Amino acid sequence: MKMSKRAVRMQVHHRRGRGAALNLVSLMDIFTILVFFLLVNSSDVQELPTRSVDIPESVSQEKPRETVVVLVNKDQILVQGQAVISTADAVASRGNTLLPLKAALDAQARRLIRVDDDAVREVTILGDRTVPYSLLRKVMATCTEADYGRVSLAVMQKAPEDAGGSAT
């Protein structure tokens, strides 16, 4: 039996719709944009290891930069997560320089890859709130003796309080 032109045209049209293929070009574009968005926005956050340290609070607005991290807690002093010296030994030591800490900081300085050799070395000290200031002073002195020109103390940011009272 011979089919009419209209029936043939309808059959071809219906056959075309059966094998509908998924257009992947637009999906690839969306995923590419999503990857670039995530790469650009993921570099804003730096998380400091504060699980064993109770950090003091401050109203400073400046964000920390990526630096060598010295963590001073109740038990020990750590450089980049590696234990260097116990806190009791550091407090009992004479002088302002802690030799094991200086050796660890020098080792970190050799590992750093810098484009500019004249760049100032930076270190961030995370000191527990209960650690005596004399110990923090020894740690800071050791950092400057190890040629770290920029020493920062990490603090938790708190909301600034009202400086002025109510006017009457």
Q: What is the pLDDT along the chain (168 residues), one digit of tens a residue?
A: 688 999 888 888 877 766 656 677 777 888 888 888 888 777 655 565 656 666 666 666 666 566 788 888 888 998 888 889 998 888 888 888 888 889 998 888 887 655 455 567 888 888 888 888 888 889 989 988 888 888 888 766 566 665 555 444
Q: Is 62 exposed, middle or buried (0-12, 13-18, 19+ CB in 10 A)?
A: exposed
> Which is nearest to 139 in space by CA: 84, 70, 82, 92?
70
pTM surpassing 0.75?
no
